[in-house]
Structures are given as C-alpha cells and as structure tokens.
Structure 1
C-alpha cells in the first residue's frame, strides 16, 4: 500500500491524497489549490494521469476538497465519486458557483485588458459539473461499501458541514488487514445543526487535518449568549443595524438556527432578519432535504417548533432588486450575507452603504485570510476601499469564534489520542499552515505518537 500526499501538504487548500493498493488507485478529495498566484494554471495540471484513477472518495463538499473534480473528469477520469448524500447535493451547488466565479474572473480581466484571449480561462464549465454529478454514488454513514475484493469503505460523521465524513478504508493486503483513516475536516462538539465528530475505530494509519493546530477556541459563552448580547447592544438598546458576513453553505444555516432559537424563546423582541445570499437559499433547501443528517437538537426543535430555518421576521432575499431595497430599510435589522471574508458577493454592497454608519455593527463569525477586506477591517484599518472607493470606517467591528466550524488544537489532539499507540503506526498531518502543523506535531509526539508532516508529492509505503 502506497500513500502520496498531492495536496494540502504544508498548506490549507487543495486537499488531494492518492492511495494505491495492488495497482488500484483511490483519490481521496480533489480540491482547488488557492495558494499560488497562478492558481488556475496550478490546478489545470495533475501530477498523475487522471484516467488511471479508479475511484474518487469525497470527504465533504467545500471547494478546497471538491473543487477540482470536474477538471479531473475533463482530463480523463471516468470512475465513480463516492460521498454521503448531503455532500453530493452541496457539491453541485458549490461547483456551479465556481463556474460563475471562473467566468466572472475571465470577463473582468477581458474588460480590463480590452480583449478576451489574454485573460484567465475557466477551469471547467457547467457541462463538466453536470458530467461530474452523474458519477456520484452516495453512501450513508456506517454503511460499509466494498470497492473491490480487498478494499472496503465506511463513512463516519466528522461534523464541520452537513454530510461531512471521515473516510475509513479497510484493506486486505496479502492476507494482512490494515485500516487507514482520512479525517477531511473535523468539526466541533455542540455546533448548531451539525452532528458531533465521532470517535475513530482502531486504525493503523491516520491522515489528519491540522487547520487549528496551536489555536484554541474561546471558552465560556455559548453561540446563543454571544449573539443575544450583540443583537441587544446593536438593535435593541440602540436602533442600529447588525451585519453578519457568513459563508453561504454551513455557517449561514447554523447562524439562522441559532437566531431562530433566540427569537422563538422570547429572549429578545423580534428583529427583522434578512438572509441575502442566493447560494445560502439553495443550501438551506439541501439541509431540509437531508434532515436525517442534522443534529438531535435540530431534530427536536423541528418536532416541537417547526422548521429550524424559518421564523417570524426572517426573509430570504431572492434577487438583486430585493437586496438593494434593504438599503432603504431604516428600522433596526440583521443582515446575513456572503462572502464571509468580504471578498465579493452581496456583502460588499451592504458594507458600501453601512461602513460609515455609526449605528452599524459588523460581526465577524469566521476566519478572514490576510489580504482580504475582512482582515483589513479586523486589524483596525481606519479607511478601506470598497467598490473602488475609499471609505472611512465608522461602523463598530466585532469578532467571535463561537461559530467557527473547525475543531481546535485540543479537538484535533483528541481525535488521535483515542487511538492505541501500539496499533497506530503513523500520523500524517495535512491541511494546515506550517506553524499549526508543528504545534500539533509537538504535542502528539509528547504523547509518543509517530507523526510526520509530508511534503507535496512525498511517497510513503505503508
């Protein structure tokens, strides 16, 4: 058995791992790599022949794990894609959105350069996404699936996103059974809407994400307590406007459910709430469709009070006309819009009209990468550029990590520490910044686990 880490090696994006067993080739995840300046070209070329891959296994739908599968198919892969049912439906939404982003990038470049041929080209088009969706075969949690006579697959819940799975592969190699697990991304306990990550069975090898290595979530207040305080200060105590940038898929659904619990319990008087993201609207329908995959808390709420994603004074914005009309609504309100880091999307329109509003609070509920508008606001820049205009920042900027979808350093440690040190032969750390990987490696080695941080393309005989 041979493992090659082809993506998310000493970086966060582009997850892609190749496992070869007796000439049978399994690709676990095939995500877009955003790390390079020429990322379109970087993702175009694979370090292996796509036609040689027998099967793709997808841990979850996020683009850094799924976003390059259509390119793989366009270049010759003709096998099955295995995932949970929610992952397949969410992946379709995200992949189609990627096509729009590719085309938009190409058109903007063409307008800027006054010619079409010199700009970046789309990695794939809608046709390739449709070809991709035809190859999905969906498997529920805890339902063993045999890939061939020597290899079987099982998905167990990872939290993090609806349908997100830890991949467990059981391999019979020359009469010896070996188990290897790929975590994908690990979620958190008690996260709104989502099930908790489940404990791994005994395994021999582990490919583990390390996004929050060396980082710890704030303890103490719950999601509802934090939101209640901010809403009270912004919309009740003073008649202001609360803007919450949130990723359309996953974060928005958890946020809406939390708001539903607050208002339906009477903890606060009603406040008009707008969800302004077409992608979020589609994703919320997927959450409704696959309701058996949500948390027990969400199921109980549904039984007692109805739809987790609907409440009085909640409005899902359908089009740009409705989105622009929000700017003319002067009563206290909450606006939830994408994208979470403020790079593009309708959120920029809301910021354009509110960044100089003393009665506006912008609440960040997720990570903002360096170089993004979100990062500039969080570091306290007094002037920012939005829609090519320099604007002074008079709005209040706040941040909380209570809705971060990643498990922190201790959560990641606990994933590994449930394993018998005598049986678990090696831990491979991926999907993290180098300093995060080193911090996690140090603490795992202190517990006597054998840990490596593989380089891209490094091959391991297991």
Structure 2
C-alpha cells in the first residue's frame, strides 16, 4: 500500500491524496488551490498522476478546495466512479457549476481587458478557463454510489470503506479505508476537514476506534477559537451598534454552512429579542440560497434539536425580514439602502462574487461595518482588510477603509488546536500521522502536540505504508 500527496501539502487548499493498493488507485478529494489563484498556473498544472488511471474518487465534502478540480480530472481522462454522501453530491454539483461559471466569466473578462502595461497592440488575448459549465455537468455523470455514515461498503474484494460524520459541513465525512494486502490488514483514515464539537446545527466529529495511519488536516493547528457564545454575542453587538448608527452590516460569507449558521443565529437573536424584529437581512448569493434549500432537504443530518424544529415545521433558517436576492437587479437594488440592512454575500474571502460590489459601497463609510466570520487566506482581499489596510483596490478603484471591521473567528467550521489534538487522541494504535491542509509553520507547531510518528509531506511525495 502506498500513498502520495498532490495538494494541500504545507498549504491550506487543493486537497488531493492518492492511495494505491492491490493495483487499485483511489483518489481522496480533488480540490482547487485557492487564494486569488483560481485561474492561475497551480490549478492548471499536471496532477502528479494520470487521471485515466484513477479507479475511484472518494469525496470528503463539497468545499471548493476539496472538489473543485473534479471537472478538470474528468476533462483530462478520468473514467472511474466518484463516491460520497447524498448531501455532498448535491452541494458539490452546486459548487462545481458555480466555479465553472465564475471561471468562464473571469476568462472572458481577462480576454477583453488584457493588462494595459504590455501587449498593448493586442486588442484581446484569449484566456482559457480551467473548465467550463459543460465539464461541471459532465462530472456529475461519474458520481455513482451514495454512502451513509457508519455503513461499510466494498470498493473491491480486498478494500472496504466506511464514512464517518466529520461535523464540518452538511454531508462532510472522514473516510476510513481497510485493505488486505499480502494477507495483512492495513487501515487508514482521511480526516477531511474536522468540525467543532458542540455546534448548534451539526453533530460532533466522529472517529473509528483504531487506525494504523491518519491523514489529518491542521488548518487551525496553532490557535484556539474564541468561545462560541462570545462570538454570537459579538455578532449581535456588531449588528445592533451599526444599525443604531445609521449604517449597513456587510458579512462576506461562505455559501455552505457559514451562511446557514449565521441565518440560524439571526433567527434566534430576533426570537430572543437580542436583535430588533425589524432587522432586514439580504442573502445576496444565488449559490447560498440554493445551498440553504439543499440543507432544508436533509433534516436527518442535523443535530437532534434541529431535526425536531424541522419535524414541527419550523425552519431554523427562515427569519421575518429575510430577502433572497437571486437576480442581479435585486443585488444592485440593495446598494440603494443606506442603513438598517444586514447584507450577506459571497465570497467569504472576497475573491469574487457579489460582496465586492457591497464593499465598494460600504467600505468607505465610517457608519458601516464589515463582519468577517471565516478563514481568509494570504493574498485575498479579505485578508488585506483584516490585516488593517488603509486602502484597498476594488474594481480598479482605490477605496479608503473607514468602516468598522470585525473578525469573529469563533464561527469557523474547522476544529481549533485543542479540538484537533482531542480528535487525534481518540484514535488508538496509530502507527503514523501525515499532516495536510495547513501552513507549514502551523504544522510544525502542531506536530509537537500529538503522539507517535508524524510526517509533513511535500507535494507529490510518496510513502510506502
């Protein structure tokens, strides 16, 4: 049995790991490298393996940095089966179609507006997107079996697979693989992204009792999150304070999980009279609207208390002043509202989507607020604002940053350092751990905190297990 690493190595995005056993090639995730690089060289480079040789893809969850290069895999010759949970299948379709659409738009925009400092004789330069809509739709043809948590299934005669609830986003899983090779049983667990315990919507992350090898994410391996209740209270304070001072609140939001969690807390804040019942909330993201509808179709995947709400016909994501803005005209109309609006718009790192238009209107107004509720990679617009930039460039306009900036990291869908250590400790008899999905310095810190042999793989590095 051997494993090789082809993404998210000493880096936070681009998850992609290849397991080879008894002649079968299994890819775990095939994600996009993110951080303003969606169309850049890294995503377009060869995978480090031949796509047509891959027999199966096991998909941990539907975030772009885990599923975003699947259409490229198909485009380059993959003919195998993609296996995941039913919720991940629905959400991944949404994410891949959205990514294809954005890439087509971006390629068209760049072709029409080449950098003016060179090629000025050339009226337009042809820029190719990584993949297009038809590639994303075609990828869905390769999705085969859907999996239920805890129910083992045979991948081949000698390889069996079990998905465990990772508690990260709806349908997310840690994937346990058991294989018999030369009459010896070997087991390996791919953590996927690990969620937080005690969160209101999803169940706590699970692990099998014992495993030989663990491939583990370390996104927040060097820090602790603020307490969840403090984070919720700060969100309420930011909204009330801003609305009382005549401004709007802009929340750059990730369409999956974060949006639904914030909607849930806005709903609860109004119910508990911590927010005004007249609060107007605009969900300005077609993708987040669709994702919320997918969430509503899978009540069985939530915590017991949320399931009961659905059973009693109470939708935890619906609140009195909620407006869905699917059409571009609706989105533009929001910017005519000068005060009293909570505007939730994609993308969470402000690398694209409609949020940049709202920032263009609100960032320079001292009575407004921007509330960041998620991770922002280096090099993204969100990170520049969080790091205290006095001015930022949006749509070729240099804008002063005068709005109040809040960074509320307690909403992260990723486990923090203490939760990650605890997750690892629950698994018995680990022979080796491979750290992925984190900055190199973070991994070096985290490595000291867990027991046993720990490797920090480089890109395309191969290990024999």
Alignment TM-score, normalising by the size of structure 2? 0.93
Q: What corresponds to 2:117 in structure 1?
A: none
Candidates 259, 262, 273, aligned match of 1:266: 273
State yes or no: 1:134 paired with 2:134.
no
Indicate yes or no: 2:456 matched with 1:461. Answer: no
1:67 correspondence with 2:68: yes
| Aligned residues: CA RMSD | 2.0
Structure 2 portions without partners, runs of 5+: 115-119
Distance verdict in 2 for CA 1:319–1:213, change over 3 Å: same
Match of 2:390 among 374, 382, 388: 382
Matches within 5 A, 1:348-387: 348-387=356-395
Displacement of 1:11 after TM fit? 1.2
Q: Which residue of structure 2 aligns with residue 27 of structure 1?
A: 27
Counterpart of 1:317 in structure 2 is 325
Q: Judge conservation of contact 1:27–1:57 (CA < 8 Å) in 2.
A: yes
Partner residue of 1:177?
185
Alpha-carbon shift at residue 179 of structure 1 (Å): 1.3
> What residue in structure 1 maps to residue 93 of structure 2?
92
Is contact 1:33-1:39 (8 Å) kept? Answer: no
Instruction: Determine the C-alpha separation between the residues in 2 that align with 1:121 and 1:381.
Output: 32
- CA drift of 1:318 comes to 1.9
CA apart distance, 1:49: 1.6
Residue 222 of structure 1: how far off its partner (Å) = 4.2
Aligned to 1:394: 402
1:286 alignment partner in structure 2 = 294
* Contact residue 7 and residue 13 of structure 1 kept, 8 A: yes
**1:33-72: CA deviation from partner (whole Å, max 9, x where unpaired):** 3479673464342222211111110001111111111111
- In structure 2, the partner of 1:441 is 447
Structure 1 gap segments, 5+ residues each = none
Residues 314, 36 of structure 1: alpha-carbon distance in 2 compared, 3 angstrom cutoff: closer
1:118 shift after superposition: 4.1
1:95-149 deviation digits (Å, cap 9, x = unpaired): 1111112212211221123869844312222222222111112111111111111
Residue in 2 that maps onto 1:229: 237
**Residue 373 (structure 1) shift:** 2.2
Which deviates more, 346-355 or 277-286? 346-355
CA contact (8 A) 2:228 2:410 kept: no
Alpha carbons of 1:393 and 1:7: their partners in 2 closer, same or farther (altered >3 Å)? closer
- Distance in 2, matches of 1:289 and 1:36, equals 32
Deviations 1:290-338 (A, max 9, x none): 2211222322333457111111111111211111211222441211111
Distance 1:188 1:27 in 2: 26
Could you say which residue in structure 2 is the equivalent of 1:334?
Answer: 342
| Number of residue pairs the alignment of both structures matches | 456
Is 2:32–2:43's contact at 8 Å kept on the other side of the alignment? no
Can you list the C-alpha shifts for 1:166-195, whole angstroms capped at 9, x where unaligned? 000111222222211000111112234222
1:241 aligns with: 248
Match of 2:203 among 195, 218, 221: 195
Farther-moved stretch of structure 1 (187-196 vs 358-367): 187-196
Q: 2:288 aligns to what SS in structure 1?
A: helix
CA distance in 2, matches of 1:225, 1:300: 25
Which residue of 2 is the match for residue 452 of structure 1?
455
Tell me, yes or no, if the aligned pair for 2:113 and 2:124 is still in contact at 8 Å: no
Counterparts of 1:388 and 1:117 in 2: how far apart (Å)? 19
Asked whether the equivalents of residues 221 and 420 of structure 2 are also in contact (C-alpha less than 8 Å), the reply is yes
Q: In the TM superposition, what whole-angstrom CA distance separates every residue of 1:70-97 from its partner, at most 9, and x where no partner exists?
A: 1111222111100011111111111111
User: How far apart, CA to CA, are the structure 1 residues paired with 2:94 and 2:228?
Assistant: 35
For residues 442 and 344 of structure 1, the distance between their equivalents in structure 2, rounded to whole angstroms, comes to 37
Q: CA 1:67 to 1:419, structure 2 compared with 1: closer, same or farther past 3 Å?
A: same
Q: How far has the Cα of 1:25 moved from its partner?
A: 0.9
Query: 1:380, CA displacement in angstroms?
Result: 2.1
Q: Note if 1:413 corresponds to 2:421.
A: yes
CA distance in 2 between partners of 1:34 and 1:340 (Å): 12
